[in-house]
Amino acid sequence: MTSPVLQTERLTLRPPSAEDFEAWAAFHTEEDTMRFLGGVQKRGAAWRNMCTMVGAWHVRGFAMFSVIERDTGRWVGRIGPWQPEGWPGREVGWGIARAFAGRGYAYEAACAAMDYAVDTLGWDHVIHTIDPDNSGSIKLAQRLGSVNQGPVSLPAPLEDFRVDAWGQSADQWRARRARTTA
């Protein structure tokens, strides 16, 4: 498998690797960060979560990227394409560690991940599954140009989570990208 590496002005996006685990595990202990991402996870569960992402790269050919700060090499979070079995659509999802929140990294990485999903993976539509109370993610989805397409159901064991699908077509993303780069 060829592992894609995406570069933005301040970030590197690459598939997760063993060197990411300590920061990945710490991220999963942050109550405020994990509130809308399934809840806090102990170290063993965080390990299995990371291995799920690594496995999805091999099985599906895509999954969320580890986001790395270029200047420091520090792990920032995970962002990227995601579609486990039974998911309500092809998603670009995100999660940024608390120490990096508020710097515009989520937007920068999400734009690169949207480009990758549309241009490389050939997705014709992208969603973001967001809890209606998650104002930060809603603001990011809106900044990306996505609109609320209504409630969707997640597969077990996540069926009790309340989420809306925010999304847009590939053509809408391309048009938005053309306007913002012009």
Mean pLDDT of the chain: 92
The reported pLDDT for the residue numbered 14 is: 96
Distance separating alpha carbons of residues 76 and 54, to the nearest angstrom? 17
27-66 pLDDT, tens digit per residue, is 898 888 768 677 667 888 899 989 999 999 999 999 999 9
59-112 pLDDT, tens digit per residue, is 999 999 999 999 999 999 999 999 999 999 999 999 999 999 999 999 999 999
Residue 14 CB burial class (10 angstroms; 0-12, 13-18, ≥19): middle
The reported pLDDT for the residue numbered 2 is: 65
> Can you name the residues that pair with 80 across neighbouring β-strands?
93
- B/e letters for 95-109, b = 16+ CB within 10 Å, e = fewer, are bbbebbbeeebbbbb
For the chain, give the percent of residues with pLDDT over 90.
77
The reported pLDDT for the residue numbered 61 is: 92
For the chain, how big is the Rg over CA atoms in Å?
A: 15
Confidence (pTM): 0.93
- Nearest CA to 113 out of 17, 177, 24 is that of 177
User: Residue 137: pLDDT above 80?
Assistant: yes
The reported pLDDT for the residue numbered 147 is: 97
